[in-house]
Amino acid sequence: MITVQGLTKRYDDRTVVDDVTFRCEPGTVTGFLGPNGAGKSTTLRILAGLAAPSAGTASIDGRTVRQLPNPAAVVGALLDASAVHPGRTGRGHLRLLAEVIGVPRGRVDELLDVVGLTGAAGRRIGGYSLGMRQRLGIAAALLADPPVLIFDEPANGLDPEGIRWLRGLLRGHADRGGTVLLSSHLLAEVEHTVDHLVVIGGGRLVADAPIDELLAADVTVVRAVDPAALATDLRRAGHPVERDGDRLTVGGTPAEVGAVAARCGHALVDLRPAGRDLEDLFFQLTA
Amino acid sequence: MALQTLARPDARLAGSAPGLGRLVRVELGKSLSTRSGQAVLAATALLAPHWVPVLVLTGGDVSDPPRLLAELGALTALLVLSLGVLSSAGETTHRTALGTYLAVPRRGRVLAAKTLALAQLGAYATATGVVTSAAILAVLGVPVPLGPTAVVAAVATLGGAAFAVTGVGIGAAIAHTPAALTGSYLVLFLTPPLLHGVWPAAVEAVDPRQAVILLATTTPSAGPVVTLLAWVVGPLAVGFLILTRRDIA
């Protein structure tokens, strides 16, 4: 489990992360969203032990990364796919990392195959595309099969097949009890992958809830055999109603709307929450 | 592309911190796995052997081979400093520090591994340069006394190790390869002549190249040893303090 408690980071008099608190539970994929400069990368770097907090803590299963004997066996992190030496080969890069972690060399070739880089493994990384570097970074994060994954913009540069594969990897990892913290600007991708959302803006936490809860607005779409009569009864009951043909968009939960319809004897043909998409929610939260 | 990932850490792996020996092997691997690292190592090892025939064939002064070898060894050691700088400052320049300290957050251990690895490479490069130069001198007909030459080779080898470690410290402190290299060589090459004009006695006390030559060619004394130690311990201590407090971007 990832626990971030009262995390604050100041550079001189500028506060880039301000008292941020959230948790990522095992078995879930948590999306970590925020506009550029919101403090996401700083939070992830503190969590990974690369930066020191000004206040608060960021821990994994109760220990900071610096307290873990062999951190890469517990946390697989992809924070910047371009942070690799361009003069090394992909295989050489992974072999050096495998030796540090203590995993057998055979694991390197296994992962190169998994991420589709076997053919390019002997080439220098300087000649890799962004997508290839992302795949190499994902392979590096997975070398020791760590239970916790922290990925910052992992889908950048990946082709659609790669993005689908990545989604399957992250979901599968969580389904087997792993913990995933995923930062991404590809909101549609996040919406399809995560269970929980943490949103920060201006360094402060602005949302921390299951994605279904955040996307579910108190607005209901309803269709009835007699939409005009239902609209009248709903308005009488105090619900704002917009009518578009036989479709009514009503302020209120499906349960409240359904109760009014039942009390007034309306036959319904459709009753469902009017969902928002993540993009609307993101701009609403971070405006 | 399919992969089953674990939900729990491999307890044996998670509880086993990488030992210093393993980290030293990794640092050696890092230095030798890039063309720039290989090129610098080869250039430093081969500089002196290339210079010897030029000196002999152009009628240069080769009347005191141990002294000549000591000067070439000290020059090689100076160049070896760049290997150390590349090893530590290069991590920031190429941003590989991110992966390095993700895997080993105890930065002092990484610095210790770099120190031991680069000391080996520095010693190897300098020893190769001095021994090969001595052999070339002998082949070209210059009498090379074995005993004094062995002393010169041993001191130069230690000097090479020391200068490589100095480079590691400077690189860790400055964390910018061009600035660290330029600054180091400006100080090392410009300070002695400038100081010579105003305070000649101080040159021996601050010039590490002179310290290597003195140790190799005169009766051992504390002065040059202190000078070399100061050049090793000073940058390394400052590098450690800065490295362990700096945020990795």
Q: What is the pLDDT of residues B131-145, one digit of tens each?
A: 999 999 999 989 999
Specify the DSSP element, H or E, that contains B190. helix B177-198
Same-domain pairing of A116 and A189 = yes
Q: Which residues of A touch B244 (CB under 8 A)?
A: none
Same-domain pairing of A57 and A175 = yes
- Strand order across the A55-60 sheet: A14-24, A2-11, A55-60
Q: What is the pLDDT of residues A47-67, one digit of tens each?
A: 999 999 999 999 999 999 999
* DSSP-based three-state secondary structure for A198: strand
The domain of A184 spans: 2-210
Same-domain pairing of A187 and A272 = no
Same-domain pairing of A195 and A260 = no
Residue B159 CA to residue B181 CA, distance in Å, equals: 18
Considering only CA atoms, which of B237, B121, B116 is closest in space to residue B173?
B237
Of A92, A116, A173, the CB nearest to B33: A92
Q: Percent of chain A beyond pLDDT 90?
A: 77
Of B5, B16, B245, the CB nearest to A70: B16
Instruction: Report CB contact under 8 Å: B5, A96.
Output: no
- Closest chain B residue to A113, measured at CA: B1
* DSSP-based three-state secondary structure for A153: coil
Of B1, B22, B36, the CB nearest to A87: B36
**Residue B87's pLDDT is what?**
95
Same-domain pairing of A276 and A205 = no
Q: Which residues of B touch A102 (CB under 8 A)?
A: 13, 16, 18, 22
Q: Which band of pLDDT confidence, cut at 50, 70 and 90, is reported for residue B192?
A: confident
State which of A179, A210, A241 marks the end of a domain: A210
Instruction: Report CB contact under 8 Å: B248, A99.
Output: no
Same-domain pairing of A42 and A159 = yes
Instruction: Report CB contact under 8 Å: B95, A82.
Output: yes
First-to-last alpha carbon distance for chain A, in angstroms, is: 30
Least confident of A191-205, A252-266, A268-282, B22-36: A268-282
Instruction: Report CB contact under 8 Å: A99, B25.
Output: yes
**Residue B11's pLDDT is what?**
65
Same-domain pairing of A33 and A164 = yes
Q: Which residue has the tokens 């150390």?
A: B84
Same-domain pairing of A48 and A161 = yes
- Closest chain A residue to B19, measured at CA: A100
Instruction: Report CB contact under 8 Å: B18, A71.
Output: no
Phi then psi for A135, rounded to 5 degrees? -65, -40
Q: Which band of pLDDT confidence, cut at 50, 70 and 90, is reported for residue A118?
A: very high
Residue B236 CA to residue A234 CA, distance in Å, equals: 77
Least confident of A148-152, B48-52, B157-161, B233-237: B48-52
Q: What is the pTM of this model?
A: 0.86
The domain that holds A77 is classified in CATH as 3.40.50.300
**Closest CA of chain B from A218, distance in Å:** 36
Instruction: Report CB contact under 8 Å: A116, B5.
Output: no
Q: Which band of pLDDT confidence, cut at 50, 70 and 90, is reported for residue A213?
A: confident
How many domains does chain A divide into?
A: 2
Mean pLDDT (chain B) is 90
